[in-house]
Amino acid sequence: MSYLVLARKYRPQAFADVIGQSEITDKLKNALACDRTAHAYLFCGPRGVGKTTCARILAMELNKNTASGQGSLDLGMQTALDIIEIDGASNNSVDDIRALRESAQLMPMGGGVKVYIIDEVHMLSSSAFNALLKTLEEPPPHVKFVFATTDPNKLPLTVISRCHRFDFRRIPLDQMAGYLKGVCVKEGFNAHEDALFAIARASQGSMRDALSVLDQLSSASSGKIDLVEVNAMLGIVEIDRIFALAEAILLKNFPEALKVLDNIAGKGKDIKQLSQDLIGFFRNLMVMKAGGPDLQDLIDHSASYKKMLFDLVGLVSMGEILVIIDRLVDAQDTSRIIEMPQLALEIALARITASSGPVSSPVQARPAEVRISDPVTTPSGTSARPISPLAPAAGMTLNNNRGAVSIEPINFDGSSNAAVLGSLANMIRDWNTLTHNVCLQSMSVGTYLQEGRPLKFDGRKLTIGFTPENEFHKEFLDQPANLKVLRDAVLATFSLDVGIDITITEETDTYKAAAAVNNALAIFGGEVVNEWDSE
């Protein structure tokens, strides 16, 4: 007999064998026991969690008293002529549904119930759904339907309302690992616990995927399965490398973090997957920090992993964890723009580890005197490009030796300081510096900001204008998190904590004039010495 893959060999033959879906199987068994089965069922959920298997078991149970229901599930499906399984992806036309309607009128050949299982039912066309509705609502007494889909949102509400719906969930990690261990015992495989957890975690709740990976590993390793082989086959970054990189981040050791990252990249690992793994690691660290051992069930890893995680909890505060996760998420967004995931991750590591104090420290105003040759530290702990010495910011006086910048006190009582700070021309002059500092905080926010121009600045609020065709830019920057990035950048650039107003302007002349002045100052390194109000 030819070899049978594990995913088929260990396909459940009864509801009791189905893993991780006890709530659904119990309801189906009760319906069968009470002889109150519906005429149509809809099974929804991710791939590989038992939708089609449960549909087949239900069909066999409905026909268990007939000759076609004897034997194993796979053999039964070959001989049970009253159980018709249809692939919705390849039989999705009106003609296919018409053929189904005609065959549904015929009596069952085994004297039981005629069951139609339509897999991936969301692939049917709109016309096919319309052709099926009447039969679905009032099928012949001997016909039942079972639909399976991974995307129920694509089904018409008229179809969903005619079915009893069951939502299958992803199989929990510990149940998957336990089931894989049982399979290994039956097959005579020598598998390490950490390896089984890694397989289950990579399968993302799909038992079929997990059995397929286990099958492939058993064939390649002659029955001995360890974590190293699992990581090598799946391209997973080793746990010890994740911990080494995380420890360097927590200790703010940027050179060590770069070495670990380069070592991981040198082994051909997927850097995007590494970013995802790091986010997952700090998520688990956040959970452990919040509840310690009491919340360890929320972490889908082995006991040894949780022990190592618990040892790192004392190195970091909850605020720091949240900031680190935010930086790593920004790195993922940046990698989509520049298509250099390793560079994006390196920048994120630099931003996290550069500050000498806690990464979650509150925003502090810039010191009264800084050196132009030194980088300016932004509120988030990153190094921003200092303001050009050819164009001192409003409120700053440049010494003759061009060494230090002193900041005058800021008043808003109508004095000369307020007038200088309220100059729109000065804001236009330093616009490039501001957009650069925003890009250091968030590449996406900085990219959208470059399409705007400063329209008004009165010392208390900066109004940024966009043309009507850039309505999306306004909506994006108007989000609270993005407004905070803009305020932090203004504080870092001008030492001003001001409000930000994003608006759409129809005054194209003013908008173009602001752009022209900005470009001219940038090209010639000029400085606005005076401005006139046309009024």
- Tens of pLDDT, residue by residue over 370-401, are 333 344 344 444 444 433 333 333 433 333 33
358 is a domain residue: no
Same domain, 159 and 181: no
Sign of CA dihedral 51, 52, 53, 59: positive
Per-position b or e across 183-213, b if 16+ CB within 10 A of its CB? bbeeeebebbebbbbbbbbbbebbbbbbbbb
Residue-level pLDDT at 388: 35
Q: Could you tell me if residue 402 is inside a domain?
A: no
Q: What average pLDDT does this structure show over 79-105?
A: 87
How far, in Å, are 29, 147, 377, 413, 518 from residue 410 at the CA level? 75, 69, 20, 9, 25
The answer to whether residues 302 and 325 belong to one domain is yes
**Residue 243: inside a domain, yes or no?**
no
Domain with residue 187: its CATH number is 1.10.8.60
Contacts of 418 (CB under 8 A, 6+ apart): 411, 412, 459
Kindly state whether residues 27 and 123 are assigned to the same domain: yes
- Across 483-501, average pLDDT: 83
**CA 88 – CA 338 distance, rounded (Å):** 40
> For 157-171, what is each residue's pLDDT tens digit?
999 999 999 999 999
Cα 246 from Cα 258, distance rounded (Å): 11
Q: Which of 320, 343, 366 is the last residue of a domain?
A: 343
- Residues in a beta bridge with 397: 406
311 has pLDDT over 70: yes
pLDDT tens-digit readout, 163-213: 999 999 999 888 999 999 999 999 888 888 888 888 988 888 899 999 999
Number of domains in the chain: 4
d(CA 65, CA 43): 24
Q: Are 431 and 453 in contact (CB under 8 A)?
A: yes
Strands 383-384 and 376-377: antiparallel
| CB neighbour list of residue 358: distance below 8 Å, 6 or more residues apart | 317, 319, 320
| Same-domain check for residues 161 and 201 | no
The last residue of one of the domains, among 234, 257, 278, is 234
Supply angle C-alpha 235, 204, 302, rounded to 5.
80
Residues 290 and 417 in one domain: no
Bridge partners of 144, per DSSP, are 115
Residue 206 lies in a domain: yes
Q: What CATH number is attached to the domain comprising 146?
A: 3.40.50.300
- Residue 427 and residue 321 share a domain: no
Same domain, yes or no: 120 and 23: yes
Measured CA to CA, the distance from residue 458 to residue 472 in angstroms comes to 26
144, 136 Cβ separation under 8 angstroms: no
Mean pLDDT across the chain, nearest whole number?
Answer: 77
Higher-pLDDT residue of 346, 311: 346
375 occurs within a structural domain: no
Domain boundary (167, 183, 214) is at 167
Judgement on whether residues 144 and 293 belong to the same structural domain of the protein: no
pLDDT of residue 358: 42
Query: Same domain, yes or no, for 226 and 310?
Result: no
Residues 408-434 pLDDT 10s: 333 334 334 434 344 566 667 777 778
Domain assignment present for residue 144? The answer is: yes
Does 152 share its domain with 212? no
The parent domain of residue 179 ranges over 173-234
Three-class secondary structure of residue 383 per DSSP: strand
Q: What percent of the chain has pLDDT over 70?
A: 77
